Structure formats: C-alpha cells, structure tokens
Structure 1
Amino acid sequence: MVNAAQQIGYARVSTQDQDLEQQRLALGRIGCQRIFEEKVSGAKRDRPELGRLLDHLRPGDVLTVTRLDRLARSTTDLLHIAERLKTVGADLRSLAEPWADTTSPAGRMVLTIFSGIADFERSLISERTSAGRAVAREKGVRFGPKPVLTPEQIVHAIQLIGEGQSVSNIARLLGVHRATLYRALPQ
C-alpha cells in the first residue's frame, strides 16, 4: 500500500518552562496529521525529534512550522534542512512567513535566492579569512598548536644524538613521545 502525502508539523520551544500548545493548535488547524514536538534550544545541533521527523518524511509530504525560527538556527541551517527535504521529495511551509512555502513556484524561487545569498556570503567569509591569514603570516604569526619543544631543546637533542644517545632516551629525557621528537628534528 502506498502512503498518501501528509502535512507533518514540527513544534519547538527553547525551554522546559515554555508551552507548545499554541503551535500545536495552529498546526492542527491547518491539517497536520502528525506533529513532532521538541523542548530544546534551537542553538543545539542535536534535536532528536527534528531528526526523527526528517527521517519520517516521504515524497510529497509537507513539513509545516508555525515560524521558521522554530525549525532552523540560521539561514544556513534552514538551507541544509530545505536541501534534505528536496532530496526526499518533500516540501516546506511556514505559517508566519508565507514566502517560505516550497509547494509554490514563488516559494521555491525565494529559497533558491536565499541559497545563492548564503553561498555568496560563505565565499566572502572564506576570501576574508584567507586574506587575513596571509597578512598575519606576513607579520610572522604562526598558526596551529604551539611547538612542544623549544629551539634550545631541539639543539640539545641534536647534540645528544651526535653523542650516540638513542632517540627513545632523548624523548624520555625531554618528556615527549619519540614521534614528537622526530617531527621536530631537521631531516
């Protein structure tokens, strides 16, 4: 038997003290056959009920929320969720933001524009970050973790190797792993 497409609701509040009743009523009024509910901060990546909802969706289903901020933490998060819906063949609808309705051509267009803007912003951030790193490198800033061994310790280790000491003994003396010492030594 083939399941008919459904309107599936998602309701979320940020704290245990808040109530889901208004969202539940609004989603029920527009005909959501099932409502996934969650009391968790939108800032959290792990939202188990949202994950279950996304796994539950079938082609033709419409994920409906009262407001987009109930569903997504950011534009990027919204676009990731929209892409996952598209992969499944499901749509997205927000009751408070009528432009966010991928069941209509206009809604799909708006989401496509948002996607382009988000991609453009990611490119700008990447360019700015790369340029900032290049300037910092020119000023002598070193990125990555601080070296474990000082230049003096490396010189001392080279002297000890020249005297016939084993790398294992030198590493133990310096309080580092052999691999750390090997990486620090000139080739």
Structure 2
Amino acid sequence: MFIRAYLRASTDQQDASRAKQSLIDFAQERGHRIASFYVENESGASLQRPELFRLLDDAHEGDVLLIEQVDRLSRLSEPDWQKLRVLIASKGVVVVALDLPTSWAAFSASSADPFTGRMLSAINSMLLDMLAAVARKDYDDRRRRQAQGIAKAKEAGAYKGRKQDEALRAKITELLNDGKSIRKVAELLECSTTTVQRVKASLSEPL
C-alpha cells in the first residue's frame, strides 16, 4: 500500500505541515508508513492547487490519499468538488481522513469480504460528500460574516484593509528580477505560488 499524505493551509501565515506528525502517527499505529508528503498553502475553496494535482498525477490505483480533515481536501463549490471527485475516482485513489473513521477501513480492506468492502466504500463515499458540503458551508458562512464585519467597519470609518507583507514582497520581487521561476521563488521563500503570481502580476501593472 502506497500512502501519499496531503497537507494544506489557506495562507502563508499558517503552517501547512502542522498536522504532519499526526498523520505519521496514524499510519504507524496501523502498521504503515507514509511514502511521500505533498504540502502547500492554497485555498481549499479553489481547484488551483499544484501539489494536490501533482499527488494525483503521481498516484496509482489503490494508493491512499491521507489527510487530517476533509476540509484540507475540499472547501470547494459543488461543481468543483464533483470535478475533483471524478478525478480521484478515475485514478483509483482511496481517500482516508483522520476525521472520517469509516475511511480507516482502507488500511484493512484486504481482510474484509467483498460485500463488506463495497458497503464500507459506499458509506465512506456518502460521508465524504457530506463533510465536503459542510466544509463549504463553513467557508461560505465565514466569508459572509467577514464581509458583514468589513461593511460595518467601513461605515464606522475604521476599516484599513489587510496590510501587505512588504518584506516578503520585496524578497519575491528580487528573486523574480533575478530570473527565477514562480515555483522556485515559492520554494525558496516557503510561500504559495499564488502569492508569487500576485506579486509578479503587480510588477507588470502600469504605474
């Protein structure tokens, strides 16, 4: 069994590898070892996640995609979630999440009879869809509350917007000007490719 662990955080200020040890311990407790890790700082509400798609590109039928929580995999809209689900299914990859106990059966699937295996797979698929929907609702609710808070702050004249990390921006600019690729800059500075792309786009904007 080849286990590929996926770790994601939404922003550069969050530690995407925070749950790494939890995933290692989970696998070891069941007599397995994680073969590779895919770590990135990208929004779970977007399909623009290079490391997740690199994982799926590397994966073979029967491989396990191990995550801490379903929301690490998806806070996607329903159409985007279905696109991702179809891709996962086409690769024959099994999703195992620490917050989805029914998925843990993948580690002992060989000992289950065919009927039990199919039943567990069906239950797991349904619960995965449910948790993905809950994760999306949580994302939408937080965005709505944030927008309401910003609107109130603007009315009170107290909203100043998010401050840019000028030091990071300067480092990104320097490396881009030095001819390094977006991915290389992201690797060197341990930030997301989205952040680098945003800085690069701003550099090409007319003054």
Q: TM-score, normalised by structure 2?
A: 0.47
Which blocks of at least 5 consecutive residues in structure 1 are unaligned?
118-187
Map of 2:123 onto structure 1: 110
Letter in 1 for 2:11: T
What SS does the corresponding residue of 1:10 show, helix, strand or coil? Answer: strand
TM-superposed CA distance for 1:96, in Å, is: 1.3
Map of 1:16 onto structure 2: 12
2: distance between equivalents of 1:11 and 1:59?
A: 21
TM-superposed CA distance for 1:108, in Å, is: 1.5
Which blocks of at least 5 consecutive residues in structure 2 are unaligned?
28-32, 107-116, 131-207
2: distance between equivalents of 1:52 and 1:114?
A: 25
Give yes or no for the alignment of 1:73 onto 2:75: yes
Say if 1:97 and 1:115 are closer, same or farther in 2 by CA, change over 3 A.
Answer: closer
Say if 1:45 and 1:67 are closer, same or farther in 2 by CA, change over 3 A.
Answer: same
1: distance between equivalents of 2:99 and 2:127?
A: 17
Name which structure has the greater RCO, CA cutoff 8 Å, separation 6+: 2
- RMSD, matched Cα: 2.7
- Check whether the contact 1:71–1:78 (CA below 8 A) recurs between aligned residues: no
Percent identity, aligned pairs only, is 27
What SS does the corresponding residue of 1:33 show, helix, strand or coil? Answer: strand
Q: TM-score, normalised by structure 1?
A: 0.52
TM-superposed CA distance for 1:112, in Å, is: 4.5
Pairing 1:23-172 to 2, within 5 Å after superposition: 23-29=19-25, 30=27, 31-74=33-76, 76=78, 77-100=80-103, 103=106, 104-113=117-126
The number of equivalent residue pairs is 113
Structure 1: 4+ residue segments shifted above 4 A: 114-117
Q: Which has the larger radius of gyration?
A: 1
Say if 1:14 and 1:88 are closer, same or farther in 2 by CA, change over 3 A.
Answer: same
Letter in 2 for 1:7: I
Judge which range, 46-55 or 86-95, deviates more: 86-95
2: distance between equivalents of 1:45 and 1:84?
A: 12
